[in-house]
Amino acid sequence: MTTTPVSAPSTDDMLSRRGFFAKLGILFNGFAAVVLAVPIARFLLSSVTRGQGKGYLSWVRLGEVANFPEGETRMATFRNPFVMPTDGKTVDTACWVRRISSSQFQVFAINCAHLGCPVRWFPQSGLFMCPCHGGAYYRDGARASGPPERGLFEYPYKIESGVLTIQAGQLPTPGDPIASAATEKPPCA
């Protein structure tokens, strides 16, 4: 009886079990890296792409000038021009409008300069008061007392055809050029 030798398959062409799982692991790791990288890249690039259009710094109508009597401070609301689908009712933003003279106004953000709590106007005392930490502001928005280090933030405004409009979309903050240009008061000590 003659036996014919059986030749083993060539190991050069075969993928070992270890090699198969190594390649499968690399494939899954690459997929996971792409899944994680896409949202991170979108987040990092969103400020660049969003900042190209200055639409969020548009001028927003507050109302007719006649709605704001001279010498009074009244609350007004506007719809924030920078709206996301998930914003809901938070796009309706409040502000305080003070009419100094026939064509001179001050439009204050409703947020306290300390931690952003909404301030209230008390006409009896002529003060804006913050309920959170006791911050107080004079009628012109300057700091009166409490923890805030500066006065209320002001929105730039203009009057066109008897309508008061403000430049809204971002809340003025201390480092913002809008806040610096709008307020010419000296910093509080």
Q: What is the pLDDT along the chain (189 residues), one digit of tens a residue?
A: 677 776 666 556 688 899 899 999 999 999 999 999 999 988 888 766 665 455 567 888 888 988 898 888 999 888 887 777 777 787 888 889 999 988 899 999 888 888 888 999 999 998 999 988 889 999 998 999 988 888 888 888 899 898 998 888 666 666 665 554 444 554 444
Instruction: Say yes or no: 47 and 68 in one domain.
Output: no
The H helix count followed by the E strand count for the chain is 2, 11
Between the alpha carbon of residue 140 and those of residues 16, 38, 97, 151, 168, the distances in Å are: 80, 48, 11, 9, 20
Instruction: Say yes or no: 148 and 161 in one domain.
Output: yes
Residue 49's H or E segment, with its range, is: helix 17-52
Instruction: Say yes or no: 79 and 155 in one domain.
Output: yes
Domain count, the chain: 2
